[in-house]
Amino acid sequence: MIANKHLMPGIAAIVVLAVLPLLPVPPFWITLANNVGLASLVAIGLVLLTGVGGLTSFGQAAFCGFGAYTTAVLTTAHGFSPWMTLPVSLLIGAAVAVPLGLMTVRLSGHYLPLGTIAWGLAIYYLFGRIEMLGRYDGITGIPPLNIAGYPLLSGQSIFYVIWIFVILTAIGAQNLLNSRIGRGIRALRGGGQAAEAFGVNIERAKLIVFIFAAIVAALSGWLYAHMQRSVNSTPFGLNMGIEYMLMAVVGGSGYIWGAIFGSAFVLIVKEILQRVMPELVGSGINVEMVVFGILLVAILQLARNGLWPMVARLMPAKSQRSIPTSVRKLAKRTLAPPGSPLIKVDRARKAFGGLVAVSDVSFEVKAGQIVGLIGPNGAGKSTTFNLITGIASLTSGSVSYQGQPLTGNSPREIAKHGIARTFQHAKILPDMSVLENVALGAHLRGSAGVFRSFLRLDREEEATLLAEAAYQLDRVGLSQYRDRPAGDLALGQIRILEIARALAADPTILLLDEPAAGLRHGEKQELATLLNKLRQEGVSVLLVEHDMGFVMGLVDHLVVLDFGTLIAEGRPADVRRHPAVVAAYLGGVA
């Protein structure tokens, strides 16, 4: 019982919701609660889309419109029964979201919210102009929902339907976020490049949240149509789109339960303002807009993460999550036989305009080898690295993996070969736990999709992925920080975390970009021990490094670049005495 203490507030909330309509409360309380439920659905969508995914949309009200108008037309003009139109409404919402999403998610930065304002307005005007949708008058006489022949005419009866949908959606959304797909979605804000390097399809993840947000908005619209029994275009305009955004921001746009809290907060404040203000400042004056505007600005200035974190602090803390032990083991890749060529860089060239950053560089990494790529500042090491990982595109030449060309492949496709990397400027997701950051690395080793995640059917696979992540953390010695937010770690630990994440991908080769930078002496020794161990297991490593002491004692083969050209390669001891290398590092006559 004690372990489930954190569930108490949720259970209490459900009990309150269940008995509320049975109590002798004024009827407008029920109406208000119904409206909170409807708005919560849209706000939950916005939490995923904006708060988690970082895609700001002011156009969600338009999707409510599609849901509402679909059922309105089908039930009034074509005699459909209300429940039959539910899947159609959701499908129409999704169908509209696909092309709009394909267009919208391509929009970068501030163009995205402006784009949503534009199509939000255009769709709103469209609703009011189409004959079939009753133009400005809208459609009336929509039949109520019914359960077992009993029509849900009263506010009390539809209350349960609305809130069951809200709770199921919230739980489903929470499931989705705590899944393989969810980690990809959570990486959208600030971690796109890292996620892409582990095989997450960023464009697809964006589209998924966009469609999800559209479907829950359409659901809200469908419920609204049957609650109100009539629709017109007014509630689907930009103003409502803005109000939904307000709810998500007030609640704290990164929190699912914050969406419900924010919707309740905004609608209750609105109700109070509408009742109290006319007595204070005279009737006929509408101050709610002013108050909302000021509220929105004040929350952004004073509590950028919304009000939910403050509420959550009052709740009992969640008990430490135990790592699910999994019977099933993840399949491992078969490694190439030691000594066989793994990565072959052949006359790779990269020019930025007139500047040739990498000039016809060729080298090889053999299976089971640790290869070091060194050179003075500006030698073209990082550019070479980016050419192999697919971040930069080759001007000419080629890069191949086990004979298959990688040229032109995206980082995501390169990841599928078992090539895992770390970043020079560590790219972790600071708000996600250390464990989840590592689990992101195992993305391609799972297969659960959106539906399985939403319905929590992915638990067995999820358990194996998390167990794998925990194993890798153990391996690099970070298991004590497992449940801490990754942003709490020190720089050296973050570098190690990146290596654990790369290991979770079950790589055949690790590409490490300055792994020892920022590490203390002891940590460097531990890192060297770890890399040696990996080599014994047959994993190859290519590393870019500045620390000569670290490199010399570790690598089998050294490649030295200077001014974009390869000046020497070979065993560390030989390279060290190479006159060109000495000249490049110490200056003097070559």
Partner 1 sequence: MHLDATIATFLIQDGLTNGAVYALLGLAIVLVFSVTRVIFIPQGEFVAYGALTLATLDAGNVPGTPKLLLCFGVAAFLLDLWSWRRDLKVDALARNFALNLGLPLLIYGAVLYLAPLQLPSVIRALMTVLIIAPMGLYVYRIAYRPLADASVLVLLITSVGVHLAMLGLGLIFFGPEGLRATPLHDGSFTMGPLLVTAQSVLIYLTTILIMVALYFFFEKTLLGKALRATAVNRLGARLVGVRTQLTGVTAFVLAATIAAVSGVLMGPITTIYYDTGFLIGLKGFVAAILGGMGSFPVTAIAAIGVGMVESFASFFASNYKEIIVFGLIVPVLIWLSIDAVHHEEE
- Under the rule (CB under 8 A), what is the footprint of partner 1? 54, 56, 58, 103, 106-111, 113-115, 117-119, 121-122, 125-126, 129, 189-190, 192-193, 242, 245-246, 249, 285-297, 300-301, 304
Which among 148, 41, 51, 152 has a CA at the least distance from the CA of 93? Answer: 41
Q: Rounded distance, CA 326 to CA 464, Å? A: 5
Closest contact distance (angstroms) between CB of 125 and partner 1 is: 5
Closest contact distance (angstroms) between CB of 112 and partner 1 is: 8
Closest contact distance (angstroms) between CB of 27 and partner 1 is: 28
Q: Rounded distance, CA 470 to CA 439, Å? A: 8
C-beta of 73 vs 242, nearer to partner 1: 242
Closest contact distance (angstroms) between CB of 114 and partner 1 is: 6
Closest contact distance (angstroms) between CB of 183 and partner 1 is: 17
C-beta of 134 vs 375, nearer to partner 1: 134
C-beta of 271 vs 288, nearer to partner 1: 288
Sign of the dihedral through C-alpha 567, 415, 325, 170: positive
Closest contact distance (angstroms) between CB of 293 and partner 1 is: 3
The token pair at 286 is 């509408």
- Degrees, nearest 5: CA angle 440-442-446: 110
C-beta of 93 vs 115, nearer to partner 1: 115
Closest contact distance (angstroms) between CB of 111 and partner 1 is: 5
**Helix residue ranges, H only, 282-355:** 288-302, 308-313
Q: Rounded distance, CA 245 to CA 47, Å? A: 9
Closest contact distance (angstroms) between CB of 280 and partner 1 is: 13
Amino acid at 398: S
550 touches 428 (CB < 8 A): no
C-beta of 84 vs 114, nearer to partner 1: 114
Please give the span between the terminal C-alpha atoms of the chain, in angstroms, as a whole number.
Answer: 75
Closest contact distance (angstroms) between CB of 316 and partner 1 is: 31
Q: Rounded distance, CA 87 to CA 218, Å? A: 10
Strand order in the sheet with 540-544: 419-421, 509-513, 540-544, 370-374, 557-562, 565-570
Closest contact distance (angstroms) between CB of 62 and partner 1 is: 12
Secondary structure element (H or E) that encloses residue 246, with its range: helix 238-251
Q: What is the 3-state secondary structure (H, E, C) of 410-479?
A: CHHHHHHCCEEECCCCCCCCCCCEHHHHHHHHCHHHCCCCHHHHHCCCCHHHHHHHHHHHHHHHHHHCCH
Q: Rounded distance, CA 550 to CA 547, Å? A: 5
The token pair at 579 is 């006159």
C-beta of 34 vs 104, nearer to partner 1: 104
C-beta of 248 vs 371, nearer to partner 1: 248
C-beta of 105 vs 544, nearer to partner 1: 105
- Helix/strand/coil percent split, the chain, to 5: 60, 10, 30
171 touches 416 (CB < 8 A): no
C-beta of 58 vs 222, nearer to partner 1: 58
175 touches 453 (CB < 8 A): yes
Q: Rounded distance, CA 566 to CA 384, Å? A: 11
C-beta of 56 vs 369, nearer to partner 1: 56
Closest contact distance (angstroms) between CB of 118 and partner 1 is: 4
Which among 114, 94, 91 has a CA at the least distance from the CA of 104? Answer: 114
C-beta of 266 vs 473, nearer to partner 1: 266
